[in-house]
Amino acid sequence: MAQIFPRWTNKIPLMVGVGAPVALCGVVFVVWYYFSPRFTDVGYQPKQPVPFSHKLHAGQMGLDCRYCHSTVERSSFAAIPPNATCMNCHANLDLGERQKRVQPVIDSYEGKKSLEWVKVHMLPDYAYFNHSVHLNAGVGCSSCHGRIDQMDVVYQAEPLSMSWCLDCHRNPEPNLRPHDQVTNMAWSAADADAYDAAKDPNRKRKFDAELVSPGMPRTPEHLNPPISNCSGCHR
C-alpha cells in the first residue's frame, strides 16, 4: 500500500516546533521595532513651503525661540509665527540673489496665498499637551525637540509616545532648569547635574522629588506631573 504521508512529513513537527517560535519572535521584533513611534515618527522631516532655517535664525543669528513662538509660555499651543513676524525683518532686508527664497512669505503677507507650513510634531487628538505648563515648570525646548538650532529643516527628534512622556513625569529632575535657561539650546547634561531644582529659590513651581510619585498628595505649589491619573493627559 502506498504511504499517505511521505517520509519527509516526519520532520513537520520539528519544523513547526522550531519555526513557529522563531517566526513568533520575528513578529514580536517587527512590531516592537517598527510599530514604535521611535520608528514611525522620529526623523519625520517634511518639506516646508519656504526654505526657512532654524540653524540660521535661531542658531547663527541667535534669535530667541520666543521671538517667533511668542505664545509658548502663555498658551498650550506654541504656534507657528504669522507672516507679520517674518516681515518685522524681511520687510527691510534685501537678500539679493537669495531674496526669492523669502518671496513666498512676502506674497502671503500681501494676501496672495496662505503659507501652508507642514506640522512636524503631532500628538494624537486624544492626548492633551500644554506648552505653558511645561515651560513654567522649567522644562526646556531642547528636552523635547532636540537641537532645533542646528536643524536647517525641522525634524522630530523624540518619539512623543506615552512612555516617553511618562519617563520624564516619573523623574523630571534631570530635565528641570532655571527659568532663564528654558530656550537655551546648549544646556547640557553637565549643566543639569550642577543645577539642583529643589534648592532654587526662584522657581515658580517648587520641586520635591518625594511628591512626584503616584498617590502623593497634590500641593498647589509643587510640581506634580500626571503619572497614573490617566485623565491628566486623556481629558
Partner 1 sequence: MNGHLSSRPSRTAHLSVRLLLSTAVAGLALAGCRGNKSAEPPVHPNLNMDFQQNYKPQEENAWFSDKRAVRALPAGAVAQDRDRSDVELNSGRGADGRLLNGLPASVKLDDALLARGEERFGIYCSPCHEKSGYGHGIIVQRGLKVPPPSFHEARLQAMPLGYFFDVITHGKGTMKPYASQVPVADRWAIAAWLRVLQVSQRAQIADIPDASREQLLRGTP
Binding residues (CB under 8 A) for partner 1: these are 6-8, 11, 15, 26, 30, 33-47, 61-64, 66-67, 70, 74, 77, 79-80, 82, 84-85, 87-89, 91-95, 113-114, 116, 122, 124-126, 155, 180
C-alpha–C-alpha distance, residues 142 and 26, integer Å: 35
154 contacts ligand HEC (rule: CB under 6 A): yes
Q: For residues 18 and 221, which CB has a smaller minimum distance to ligand HEC in the complex?
A: 221
C-alpha–C-alpha distance, residues 127 and 73, integer Å: 20
Residue 176's beta-bridge partner residues?
Answer: 139
C-alpha–C-alpha distance, residues 125 and 113, integer Å: 28
C-alpha–C-alpha distance, residues 198 and 176, integer Å: 10
Q: How far is the CB of 217 from partner 1 (least distance, A)?
A: 30
Cβ(187)–Cβ(175) below 8 Å? no
Query: Which residue in this structure is represented by grid cell 538650532?
Result: 149
178 contacts ligand HEC (rule: CB under 6 A): no
157 contacts ligand HEC (rule: CB under 6 A): no
Query: Which residue in this structure is represented by grid cell 507657528?
Result: 80
Q: How far is the CB of 89 from partner 1 (least distance, A)?
A: 6
Q: For residues 12 and 122, which CB has a smaller minimum distance to ligand HEC in the complex?
A: 122
C-alpha–C-alpha distance, residues 39 and 18, integer Å: 29
Residues 185-224 close enough to bind ligand HEC by CB under 6 A:
185, 205, 223-224
**What does the per-residue mask of binding to ligand HEC show for 86-125, with x meaning CB under 6 A?**
x-xxx--x-x--x--xx--x-----------x-xxxxxx-
